[in-house]
Structure 1
Amino acid sequence: MNRDAPTSTDDDRRDRQVAPEHRWPALIATLVALVAYAFLPSIIPPFARWAVVGVCVLMLVVLIAYNPHHLTRESRWSRRVEIALAVLILAANQVAFVETIVRLLNKHGNGSELLLASLQVWITNVIAFALVYWTMDRGGPVSRVTVKRSELPLADFRFPQDEDKDDIDEVARGSSQVMDWVPNYIDYFYFSLSNSMAFSPTDTMPLTHRAKLLMSLESFAGFVLLALVIARAVSLIG
């Protein structure tokens, strides 16, 4: 697909049955992540954190103006802004994650404040990884519903619906092959949440090296944070 021109809801989707994805789930999640990051107790100067939030909000406004309600159009520049937004939120939160780990290890600061900061970092991490998965898999949210399946980039993840065609009828009717199902942000958020809590794939499997590396990073971060939070909580109780 030519990324220089916006996709057409009439021409490009004529062979697809799936409806375009709503803007609001990813938008709400992004705003929650930005609020959690902005008010994170941190030694990072407030102006630096608010600068990151400001840049992210600016990119978000541009993307909303381009696709206000449904994700139906994409150009080369909008795709780059979409990727940059997800990567910036993830990268900024990794810095906050490292700082939080150092503070937990050195037992700096108020205990309850550190536990709250850990929760904020963990929530932002789940949302940020979900945004990255959602943005990269099969060309992103617009490509997944506008490009013919035979022309889509290789999938980074395999969802249960991708294998349900031969299941019982009421399950098979919701499969990718039968009803042209594709994952949306809520699917990636659930997947990210499960990966961060279970520290391993649940019902969705990584297929590419980049997917496996990202999942490994998320699981490792979740495990380390949980272990140190438990240790900190035990020391506070003791």
Structure 2
Amino acid sequence: MAGAPGWHAVPVVTAGKARRGEARLPSALVVVAAIALYLLLPEPLILGPRLVIPALEVVLLIALIIINPRRMTRDTPWARAAALTLVALIAVANAAALVLLLRQLVTTDDSQAVELLIAAGQVWLTNVIVYGLAFWELDRGGPVARTHLPRGRLPRADFRFPQDEDHDAIDEVMAGSSKNSDWVPAIVDYLYVSLSNSSAFSPTDTMPLSTRAKILMGIESTSALVISVLVIAKGVGGLGG
């Protein structure tokens, strides 16, 4: 009740309020982790020479860091193309690793079960990372647009987060809603969406809205299902043999 002791109004942030650009470091570390996971894969799961794809990814990452070294504040068509190319490189390399991993299942005996289990974990984790990066780069125009454009000028959302619906909840929940605090999702939010989709094989608290988001989530959950049910099951069966 307004004016009651112990209660206070939650301030509403206007749609045009300036937001700080998202920090560069978290997303850069996520990309570095994906590159490292690929480099640590067994040789039979590597697409071409081991260092070629990671080298290309490092070059693209360095270029993106130069454009936005500390915070995501500048965006150009070239930078967007470079960012999406980086995500695509990681995705293609990991998809190839998954196919090669499946081939290893039918051409090797159970003596390599431990190696297959470790490799399956690496491919699964990279899958989580690459789809999290894809969601982060695509949703509402990307990380720069989300923090610099007024909400009325943002491209249509690919995902609906819980914060986008919490404006009519109780005060302590409402305070963190998109409408009242001008909250926008960051890299950790998209990684969580990707992780939950890879674990539950379906959306959990964040719903895909666009066709491309539904397609990407469908591909991710299918890949995760293949890894979890087929690859890991085979590896565990080999351990018991």
Aligned position for 2:159 = 157
Structure 1: distance between partners of 2:162 and 2:94: 30
Aligned position for 1:197 = 199
Give the match's secondary structure for 1:49: coil
Aligned position for 1:74 = 75
Q: C-alpha offsets along residues 186-208 of structure 1, whole Å, 9 cap, x if unaligned?
A: 00001101100110100000001
Give the match's secondary structure for 1:110: helix
TM-superposed deviation, 1:236: 2.1
Structure 2: distance between partners of 1:153 and 1:87: 21
Runs of 4+ off more than 3 Å: 44-47, 105-109
Q: Is the 8 A contact 1:16 1:145 kept in 2?
A: no
Paired amino acid for 2:30: A
Give the match's secondary structure for 1:142: helix
Give the match's secondary structure for 1:130: helix
TM-superposed deviation, 1:232: 2.5
Q: Is the 8 A contact 2:164 2:179 kept in 1?
A: yes
Report the RMSD for the aligned CA atoms in angstroms.
1.6
Most deviating of 227-236 and 61-70 = 227-236
TM-superposed deviation, 1:44: 5.3
Please give the residue correspondences for 1:102-141 in structure 2 after superposition, counting only pairs within 5 Å: 102-108=103-109, 110-141=112-143
Structure 2: distance between partners of 1:46 and 1:105: 19
Structure 2: distance between partners of 1:202 and 1:64: 32
Larger radius of gyration: 2
Aligned position for 1:35 = 36
Paired amino acid for 1:191: V
Structure 1: distance between partners of 2:102 and 2:84: 27
Aligned position for 2:20 = 19
Paired amino acid for 1:224: V
TM-superposed deviation, 1:48: 2.7
Identity %: 44
Structure 1: distance between partners of 2:128 and 2:87: 12
TM-superposed deviation, 1:143: 0.3
Aligned residues: 225
Distance 1:187 1:100, change over 3 A: same
TM-superposed deviation, 1:24: 1.2
Tell me, which stretches of 5 or more residues in structure 1 are unaligned? 1-13
TM-superposed deviation, 1:47: 5.6
Counterpart selection for 2:237 from 231, 234, 237: 234
TM-superposed deviation, 1:111: 1.2
Most deviating of 36-45 and 26-35 = 36-45
TM-superposed deviation, 1:110: 1.3
Q: Is the 8 A contact 1:42 1:96 kept in 2?
A: no
TM-superposed deviation, 1:79: 1.0
Paired amino acid for 2:175: R
Q: Is the 8 A contact 2:101 2:116 kept in 1?
A: yes
Q: Is the 8 A contact 1:165 1:178 kept in 2?
A: yes
TM-superposed deviation, 1:46: 7.3
Most deviating of 181-190 and 17-26 = 17-26
